[in-house]
Amino acid sequence: MSPNETTIATTGLLLIDLANFTNSCTESRLRTAKQLVSACRTTGFVYIVNHGVPKHELERAFAISSKFFALPLEEKMKAPHSPGWSVHRGYS
């Protein structure tokens, strides 16, 4: 594991620090990008820090998604779904 790559012990999720992506040389950015791709391909989830998204925006996004997932299935299924298996991204 590299210095900017850590695993969150309780979940096993890979922690990616984007400070190295935005404030570093090309080699460091490429290494961070490869770690992110690897984590998404192997685990499907990743915990990202130093991404620059303000805390209040994250809280707002989670509040909106919580409201959506609390809806009955019939309501959630009204969200547009593109046809075909390759574009399915859940309720998107």
The average pLDDT across 13-42 equals 86
Q: Are strands 13-17 and 5-8 parallel, antiparallel or unpaired?
A: antiparallel
Percentage with pLDDT > 70 across the chain: 82
CA angle in degrees (0–180, nearest 5) for 12-23-60? 60
Average pLDDT on 10-16 reads 79
C-alpha distance across the termini of the chain, in Å:
34
Single pTM value for the model = 0.62
